[in-house]
Amino acid sequence: MKKYALISVSDKRGIVDFAKALLKFDYEILATGNTAKLLSQNLVPVKEVSDLTGFPEIFEGRVKTLHPKIFGGILFRRDNSEDKIQAEENSILPIDIVCVNLYPFVQTIKKENVSLDDVIENIDIGGPSLVRAAAKNYKFVSILTNPDQYENFISELERGSISAKTREQLAVAAFSYTSNYDTHIANYLEQRFEFEKSHIRINEKLNRKLRYGENPHQSAKVYGSFDDYFEVFHGKEISYNNILDLIAAAELCEELGDNACTLIKHNNAAGAAIGAYPLDAYLKALKCDPVSAFGGIVAFNNEVDEKTAEKLNEIFLEIICAPSFSDEALAILKKKKDRRLVRKLKKINEPGLSARSIPGGILVQDKDLVTFNKDNFQIVTNRKPTEKELEDLTFAWIVAKHTKSNAIVFAKDKATLGVGAGQMSRLDSAKIAYMKAKEHGLDLKNSVAASDAFFPFADGLLEIIKCGATAVIQPGGSVRDQEVIDAANQNNITMVFTGIRHFKH
């Protein structure tokens, strides 16, 4: 009995060599339009699907493989006598290999100003049906959906036959492939038609296995397109905790803007600053907490130059992240073999969802992308902020947004002086921030302070005033706001309400 392989691919990498290899094992090649044309041009004997079915491709290729002779050849059970009789009665030939990949829907929706018509035409119908049919009948049919599978598949054929285990693996990969494809379609159309999300669809490819998770006894993996955002090009393998801290550093740095530098330890800022140039920003950020910065992660928004690299090399840092590095800087930084160097490739503070697993499901929210708007804040005290205080308040507010609650951040000259993070009491956060500043010889006199949420009582504000702050920024919204405002007025400080809360749990 003749053996048939059906080939219909959008991604044509390696397909000619694959088809030629199949010929050596006496397979006859069936193919659709453009695939058949490419194979013929490369001297591969091929029979078009329409010649087998006796039915032409119609509607500009919208219908070409959806035919009983194709799906019958894939789906009939080779060990079922009734199936075999029906196949013979209907002139259905067995198709034992199906090689299909789908229209480039994902690539299409990434195009600028793409039309809805173009998007719709790149939704594959026959392809997913072929893939699913072949995967369903994996006991008898091999389904290939990725050019990366071709080499191993041919090698196994050369060793005698395709094992049941391989067909199982190919089937699972195939169902994963169509599932991912449908996820992208549903997510895109839901957004395009402005429908509320009815389901969370997460279908991401394994990116890399990590050595372990937060702790050595926890396994960990990265799924999705992490490498589209960060290029780890030097140093040890990046870890689970490294990735979390890297993202925290890059998010804060990005929001602070030009010539910003952030030093992150355990997802909180050990220091952050905006300088006249990267080295200036780094030195200002480092002053905040040079002890905690040891073993931390530093991020820049601008190129790291030679002088900055020399200074960075003075302490142990797990990761240095920047959009670019000068050649001179790289020559210096690469002397430390284990430290990771990372290029930030694209903006990360984009609209989207953040999710956490919970028992029985997923907890989902929009990403916190609301920023402080100078036009919408409210000055609630008799004393008004100076222009410099307002700049420092804006800076401190952004840092507080990216600091674990409860968060109190002292700042001056667009640099952090003390950070109190993740405490059960806002009062404790203020005390810790003061303690850290004092420990490193930083004076909080005439500083500003930011609180990520309102003060439930005046005691937290009074603690901040006692530390030396002359201006405070907070959301407001407490039933005791007036008590807090009165305390500010009595101490002749300025206070700004943003109307925005930035809890970070």
Q: Where in the chain is the domain with CATH 3.40.50.1380?
A: 3-193
* Segment 84-93 long-range contacts (CB within 8 Å, at least 24 positions apart): 92/68, 93/2, 93/4, 93/52, 93/69
Q: Where in the chain is the domain with CATH 3.40.140.20?
A: 233-344, 378-497
* Residue type present at position 453: A
Q: Where are the alpha helices (DSSP H) in 362-425?
A: 387-401
DSSP letters along 449-461, please?
A: EEESS--SSHHHH
Question: Partners of 290 in the beta sheet?
Answer: none
Over residues 154-184, the pLDDT tens digits come to: 999 999 999 999 999 999 999 999 999 999 9
Phi, psi of 54 (to 5 degrees): 75, 20
d(CA 98, CA 75): 11
Percent pLDDT > 90 in the chain is 87
CA 430 to chain centre: 34
Over residues 302-326, the pLDDT tens digits come to: 999 999 999 999 999 999 999 999 9
Per-residue pLDDT for 1 more than 70? no
**Topology of domain 233-344, per CATH?**
Cytidine Deaminase; domain 2 (3.40.140)
| Nearby residues of 358 by Cβ (< 8 Å), 6 or more positions away | none
pLDDT of residue 223: 93
Phi, psi of 10 (to 5 degrees): -85, -45
d(CA 474, CA 451): 5
Mean pLDDT of 18-29: 94
Over residues 422-470, the pLDDT tens digits come to: 999 999 999 999 999 999 999 999 999 999 999 999 999 999 999 999 9
Record the tokens describing residue 118, joined without a space.
């173009």
pLDDT of residue 196: 86
Buried b (16+ CB within 10 A) or exposed e, 257-282: eebbbbbbbebbbbbbbbbeebbbbb
Collapsing DSSP states into helix, strand and coil, what is residue 27?
strand
Collapsing DSSP states into helix, strand and coil, what is residue 470?
strand
d(CA 137, CA 187): 29
Phi, psi of 432 (to 5 degrees): -65, -45
Per-residue pLDDT for 368 more than 70? yes
User: Look-up: residue for tokens 């400080």?
Assistant: 493
CB-CB contact of 130 with 110 (8 Å): no
d(CA 6, CA 219): 40
- The CB density around residue 10, as the number of other CB atoms within 10 Å, is 16
pLDDT of residue 398: 96
To the nearest whole number, what is the mean pLDDT of the chain? 94
Mean pLDDT of 98-109: 94
User: Look-up: residue for tokens 């119609």?
Assistant: 58
Q: Is the pTM of this model over 0.85?
A: no
**Range 3-193 has CATH code 3.40.50.1380:** yes
pLDDT of residue 210: 96
CATH superfamily of 378-497: AICAR transformylase, duplication domain (3.40.140.20)
Within 13 Å and on the Cβ side, how many CA atoms surround 19?
A: 28
Mean pLDDT of 287-295: 95
Q: Which residues are catalytic?
A: 136, 266
Phi, psi of 492 (to 5 degrees): 55, 45
DSSP letters along 237-278, please?
A: PP-HHHHHHHHHHHHHHHHH-TTEEEEEETTEEEEEEE-SSH
d(CA 104, CA 389): 52
Q: Which of 423, 405, 431, 422 is nearest to 501 (CA)?
A: 405
d(CA 96, CA 84): 14
Report how far apart, in Å, the C-alpha atoms of 248 and of each of 60, 109, 161, 266, 341 are: 49, 29, 50, 9, 16
Place 371 in a pLDDT band, splitting at 50, 70 and 90.
Answer: confident
Q: Which of 451, 459, 458, 446 is nearest to 493 (CA)?
A: 446
